[in-house]
C-alpha cells in the first residue's frame, strides 16, 4: 500500500494548525519573552516605590526577565495609572496600583481618563496597611487629644500634607476635619516622600499615611506618631495609641497596594504573574522587610483582587459626599 499521500496530508494539516494556533499558543507558553515595565504613580522613595522594587526583584528572578520600575508621578498616581490603561494588553506593562488610583479616584476625579474596573486586568493584591497620624516633632507637641484641642482653639493654624489632591492621604485629612471639627489646611505634594520631607522640616505639620511613609524621619526624631488608625496597636509602635484610644473610634483607615496589567492581557500571562507575586509574598525575606515597613503581605487570586477593587469603587462615593468634598 502507498501511504505517502496520507502522510503528506497529515503533515500539511499539522503545518496549517501550527500556522493558525502556534503564535498565540507560543506567546502564552513562552511568556515573558522580553523585559517588563512596572509603573509606579509616585516619586522614588515612597511606600509604593519601595514595595514595587521589592516585588520587581523577586518577580525578575522568577520570570527570567527583568522587571523595571518606572516612576511616573502626578495627579495622585492617576498619571501612571492612565499610562498603563493605554498600554498594549500584552502583559509587559504593569501598574503598582493603590487604593487611591483603583478605588478612590472615580469619586475624586470627575474627568478620570480610565475606569478602574474596565481598564485593567487585576493580578493580585500585594499589601495592606493601616494609617498612622504623624506630626512634626517640634511644631506639634503633646498627645493626639492635646493636638485636637489646640487645632480646635486655633482654626487654620495647622496644616496637613498629602500625596496629592484627591489621594487617599488627602481624603484622610478631610475625614479627620469632618469627624473632629478641626480646620486643618490641606497642602498637596507630588508623592509621599516630598510630603514627609516637609513635615520633617516643619514646613507642614501633620501627615496621614502608612508607617513606611515617614519611618526614617521618625527614627531621626523629626516626626512622631500621634495615633494609629487601626483596631489594635502596631507592633512597630507599641507605645502609640490607636485612634479609638485617643478618642476617635470612627477613624479607622487602611490602604492597600496591588498589581494590575492592562485590560486584554492573556489570562495565562495574568496567572503566571499572579503565581510569581504569591511566591514573592511568601518569601521569608520579603515578609520580614514588609513587616519592618508596617505592611502586611496580602496575595490572593486575580478574582479576589477584582472583587476588592469593585467594593472600593462602591464604597468611596458615600464617604466623599459625607465629608462634603467636591472636586473639579
pLDDT tens-digit readout, 199-255: 999 999 999 999 989 889 999 999 999 999 999 999 889 999 999 999 999 898 989
Share of the chain above pLDDT 90, in %: 70
> How large is the average pLDDT for residues 167-171?
91
> How large is the average pLDDT for residues 184-198?
93
Answer yes or no: same fold for 33-128+256-322 and 130-229.
Answer: yes
Cell numbers 494588553 correspond to 89
Domain spans in the chain, listed from the N-terminal domain onward = 33-128+256-322, 130-229
Rounded Cα distance between 199 and 222, Å, is 8
Give the model's pLDDT for residue 328: 65
Q: Which of 73-82, 187-196, 267-276, 315-324 has the highest mean pLDDT?
A: 267-276
Which grid coordinates belong to 136?
A: 512634626
> How large is the average pLDDT for residues 322-327?
73
The reported pTM is: 0.78
Give the model's pLDDT for residue 27: 47
Give the model's pLDDT for residue 294: 83
Q: What is the pLDDT of residues 3-44, one digit of tens each?
A: 344 444 444 443 434 344 344 333 456 899 999 999 999 989
Give the model's pLDDT for residue 8: 43
Which grid coordinates belong to 285?
A: 525575606
Between residues 76 and 152, which one has the greater pLDDT? 152
CATH topology (fold) of 130-229:
D-Maltodextrin-Binding Protein; domain 2 (3.40.190)
Q: Pseudo-torsion of CA 259, 261, 262, 263, nearest 10°?
A: -90
Helix ranges, 154-301 (H): 168-180, 192-201, 215-219, 267-282, 284-292
Q: What is the pLDDT of residues 250-298, one digit of tens each?
A: 898 989 999 999 999 999 999 999 999 999 999 999 999 998 888 899 9
Give the model's pLDDT for residue 319: 82
Residue 327 confidence class, pLDDT cut points 50, 70, 90: confident
Rounded Cα distance between 106 and 151, Å, is 31
Q: Tell me which of 46-50, 169-173, 322-326 is least confident.
A: 322-326
* C-alpha closest to that of 190 among 172, 170, 175, 176: 170
How many C-beta atoms lie closer than 10 Å to residue 110's C-beta? 10
Rounded Cα distance between 282 and 298, Å, is 9
Q: Into which CATH architecture does domain 33-128+256-322 fall?
A: 3-Layer(aba) Sandwich (3.40)
Farthest-apart Cα atoms in the chain, separation: 104
Amino acid at each position: 500500500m502507498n501511504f505517502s499521500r496520507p502522510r503528506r496530508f497529515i503533515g500539511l494539516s499539522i503545518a496549517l494548525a501550527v500556522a493558525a494556533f502556534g503564535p498565540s499558543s507560543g506567546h502564552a507558553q513562552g511568556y515573558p519573552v522580553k523585559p517588563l515595565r512596572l509603573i509606579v504613580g509616585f516619586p522614588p522613595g515612597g511606600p509604593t516605590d519601595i514595595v514595587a522594587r521589592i516585588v520587581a526583584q523577586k518577580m525578575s528572578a522568577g520570570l527570567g526577565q527583568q522587571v523595571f520600575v518606572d516612576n511616573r508621578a502626578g495627579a495622585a498616581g492617576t498619571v501612571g495609572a492612565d499610562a498603563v490603561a493605554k498600554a498594549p494588553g500584552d502583559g509587559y506593562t504593569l501598574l503598582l496600583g493603590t487604593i487611591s488610583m483603583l478605588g478612590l479616584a472615580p469619586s475624586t476625579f470627575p474627568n478620570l481618563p480610565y475606569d478602574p474596573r474596565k481598564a485593567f486586568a487585576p493580578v493580585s493584591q500585594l499589601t495592606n496597611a493601616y494609617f498612622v497620624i504623624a506630626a512634626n516633632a517640634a511644631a506639634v507637641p503633646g498627645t493626639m487629644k492635646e493636638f485636637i484641642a489646640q487645632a480646635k482653639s486655633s482654626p487654620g493654624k495647622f496644616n496637613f500634607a498629602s500625596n496629592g489632591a484627591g489621594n487617599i492621604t488627602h481624603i484622610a485629612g478631610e475625614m479627620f476635619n469632618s469627624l473632629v471639627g478641626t480646620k486643618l489646611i490641606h497642602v498637596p505634594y507630588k508623592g509621599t516622600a516630598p510630603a514627609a520631607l516637609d513635615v520633617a522640616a516643619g514646613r507642614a505639620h501633620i501627615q496621614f499615611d502608612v508607617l513606611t511613609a515617614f519611618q526614617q524621619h521618625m527614627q531621626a526624631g523629626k516626626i512622631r506618631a500621634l495615633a494609629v488608625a487601626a483596631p489594635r496597636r502596631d507592633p512597630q509602635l507599641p507605645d502609640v495609641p490607636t485612634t479609638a484610644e485617643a478618642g476617635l473610634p470612627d477613624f479607622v483607615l487602611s490602604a492597600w497596594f496591588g498589581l494590575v496589567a492592562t485590560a486584554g492581557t492573556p489570562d495565562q500571562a495574568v496567572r503566571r504573574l499572579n503565581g510569581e507575586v504569591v511566591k514573592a509574598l511568601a518569601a521569608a525575606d520579603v515578609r520580614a522587610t514588609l513587616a519592618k515597613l508596617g505592611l502586611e503581605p496580602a496575595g490572593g487570586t486575580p478574582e479576589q483582587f477584582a472583587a476588592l477593587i469593585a467594593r472600593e469603587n462602591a464604597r468611596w462615593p458615600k464617604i466623599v459626599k459625607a465629608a462634603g468634598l467636591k472636586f473639579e
